[in-house]
């Protein structure tokens, strides 16, 4: 390791402030960087504010050249993951660095050492802090900005990580649909929508915001069932679900949240969230003194023109059945129609496991195109 690079555990309020600030300083001049809200970023790494940190041991690190911060990383021991998978795996996340192999090597070495000291034999990442939050290193699609809650990164980072002995664990994909191109629906999509509408035991509806918390909890029960066999899955806890509901409530639109019921029981759902990154662009992540007024105006008055299908799930008993595929198609079709009526031009569907062939097929039938890929890396620790 170059003598110019030093690694510092984040163990003071000042170093934590530097850890949070680094991406804003480093990426500020990047055309496609979209600064997340600073308040939200601070809450994410605060165990008192983020219930997703319960059961985690985390150590943040900064890389410095002399006194200047040039990179950051987090080492994570996720006891929830270890209890679920029993695979002796630790994780890294929050990897942002200047384009320098020496810096990346030093940061990853710090995370590996910390994880190895805790008796773990493998490291996987990036995850912030689990598959229920942002994850993946962008490896394609650098010509457009990320949507909300999707990570940002530079193309060269993949090469630097691989040079440290990491290989592919799995790829996550993001698809984009130009909404006007989806109308009229392709015949096969309309046939699937018709299957749901013609089934007397099946009902499709948008959420009832008067019963907001109940609707969210119901949907997340479906999600926990639907995703239980997927890579990296960790069930959302009740505390996490409540936290998510409270965070998203200000931006959720009733007509963007659809549920399918079979014989009166929830079987599938999908949620589109307006792309807050579009509304927050140019605020540098700051809501004060006047950023909140601009954000509110852009979200509620001017309105954004893009969104992301953030959550979607079909219960396992219906997966790989004609009705299950039809429900997924009908949910997407209803969301797209509502987005079209509100002047949206693009909807992102992410993230999708590269192995989820049935969902990818439905997305492509709806004119969705692969436009970004995010990689999860792994490395055995000896």
Which CATH number fits the domain that encloses residue 324?
3.40.630.30
Q: What's this model's pTM, rounded to 2 decimal places?
A: 0.94
Task: Tell me, yes or no, whether 133 and 275 share the same domain.
Answer: no
**Could you give the number of structural domains in the chain?**
2
pLDDT < 70 stretches in the chain: 1-3, 289-293, 297, 301
Task: Tell me, yes or no, whether 128 and 185 share the same domain.
Answer: no
CB 234 within 8 A of CB 131: yes
Helix (H, G, I), strand (E, B) or coil at 78: strand
Q: How far apart are CA 236 and CA 270, in angstroms?
A: 16
CB 101 within 8 A of CB 163: yes
Helix (H) or strand (E) segment spanning residue 162: helix 156-163
The reply to whether 28 falls in a domain is yes
Q: Specify the pLDDT at position 2.
A: 47
CB 335 within 8 A of CB 258: yes
Q: Note the pLDDT tens digit of each residue in 148-194.
A: 999 999 999 999 999 999 999 999 999 999 998 877 788 888 899 99
Phi, psi (degrees; rounded to nearest 5) at 94 = 55, 40
Task: Tell me, yes or no, whether 148 and 254 share the same domain.
Answer: no
Task: Tell me, yes or no, whether 227 and 323 share the same domain.
Answer: yes
Task: Tell me, yes or no, whether 213 and 295 share the same domain.
Answer: yes
Residue 32 belongs to domain spanning: 5-173
Task: Tell me, yes or no, whether 185 and 167 share the same domain.
Answer: no
The reply to whether 380 falls in a domain is no
Q: Note the pLDDT tens digit of each residue in 284-336.
A: 888 776 666 677 767 775 789 999 999 999 999 999 899 999 999 999 999 99
The reply to whether 381 falls in a domain is no
Task: Tell me, yes or no, whether 57 and 101 share the same domain.
Answer: yes
The reply to whether 357 falls in a domain is yes
Could you identify the residue written with the tokens 């940061």?
A: 107
Residues in Cβ contact with 244 at an 8 Å cutoff, skipping those fewer than 6 apart: 216, 220, 236
Residues in Cβ contact with 149 at an 8 Å cutoff, skipping those fewer than 6 apart: 133, 134, 308, 310
Using CA atoms, how far residue 349 sits from 183, 192, 267, 313, in Å, is: 17, 19, 20, 12
Please report how the helices 101-116 and 156-163 are oriented relative to each other, as an axis angle in degrees rounded to 10: 50
Task: Tell me, yes or no, whether 139 and 227 share the same domain.
Answer: no
The reply to whether 382 falls in a domain is no
Task: Tell me, yes or no, whether 123 and 224 share the same domain.
Answer: no
Q: How far apart are CA 301 and CA 304, in angstroms?
A: 9
Could you identify the residue written with the tokens 């970004």?
A: 372
Of 186, 348, 361, 184, nearest to 277 by C-alpha is: 348
The reply to whether 361 falls in a domain is yes
Q: Specify the pLDDT at position 301.
A: 58
The reply to whether 184 falls in a domain is yes
Of 165, 101, 116, 161, nearest to 136 by C-alpha is: 161
Task: Tell me, yes or no, whether 65 and 199 share the same domain.
Answer: no
Task: Tell me, yes or no, whether 300 and 363 share the same domain.
Answer: yes
Beta bridge partners of 380: 122
Q: How far apart are CA 294 and CA 283, in angstroms?
A: 8
Q: What angle do CA 283, 284, 285 make, to 5 degrees?
A: 85
Helix (H, G, I), strand (E, B) or coil at 102: helix
The reply to whether 90 falls in a domain is yes
The domain boundary, picked from 115, 141, 173, lies at 173
Helix (H, G, I), strand (E, B) or coil at 201: coil
């Amino acid at each position: 390791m170059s003598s110019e690079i030093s690694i510092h555990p984040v163990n003071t309020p000042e170093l934590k402030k530097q850890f949070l600030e680094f991406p804003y300083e480093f990426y500020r001049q990047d055309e496609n960087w979209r600064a997340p809200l600073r308040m939200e970023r601070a809450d994410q790494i605060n165990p008192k504010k983020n219930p997703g940190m319960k059961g985690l041991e985390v150590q943040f690190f900064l890389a410095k050249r002399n006194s200047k911060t040039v990179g950051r990383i987090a080492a994570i021991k996720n006891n929830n993951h270890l209890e679920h998978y029993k695979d002796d795996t630790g994780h890294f996340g929050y990897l942002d660095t200047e384009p320098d192999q020496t810096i990346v090597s030093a940061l990853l070495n710090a995370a590996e050492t910390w994880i190895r000291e805790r008796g773990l034999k493998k490291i996987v990442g990036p995850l912030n802090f689990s598959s229920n939050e942002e994850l993946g290193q962008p490896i394609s699609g650098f010509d457009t900005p990320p949507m909300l809650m999707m990570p940002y990164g530079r193309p060269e980072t993949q090469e630097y990580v691989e040079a440290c002995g990491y290989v592919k664990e799995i790829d996550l994909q993001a698809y984009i649909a130009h909404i006007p191109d989806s109308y009229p629906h392709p015949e096969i999509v309309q046939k699937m929508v018709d299957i749901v509408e013609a089934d007397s035991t099946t009902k499709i509806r948008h959420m009832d915001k008067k019963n907001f918390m109940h609707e969210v909890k119901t949907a997340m029960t479906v999600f926990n069932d639907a995703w239980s066999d997927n890579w990296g899955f960790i069930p959302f806890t009740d505390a996490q679900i409540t936290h998510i509901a409270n965070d998203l409530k200000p931006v959720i639109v009733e007509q963007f949240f659809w549920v399918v019921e079979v014989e009166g029981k929830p079987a599938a759902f999908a949620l589109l969230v307006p792309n807050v990154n579009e509304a927050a662009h140019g605020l540098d992540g700051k809501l004060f003194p006047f950023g909140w007024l601009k954000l509110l105006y852009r979200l509620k008055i001017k309105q954004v023109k893009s969104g992301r299908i953030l959550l979607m799930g079909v219960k396992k008993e219906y997966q790989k059945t004609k009705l299950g595929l039809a429900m997924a198609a009908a949910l997407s079709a209803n969301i797209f129609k509502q987005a079209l009526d509100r002047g949206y031009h693009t909807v992102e569907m992410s993230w999708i496991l590269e192995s989820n062939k049935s969902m990818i097929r439905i997305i492509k039938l709806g004119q969705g195109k692969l436009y970004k890929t995010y990689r999860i890396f792994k490395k055995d620790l000896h």
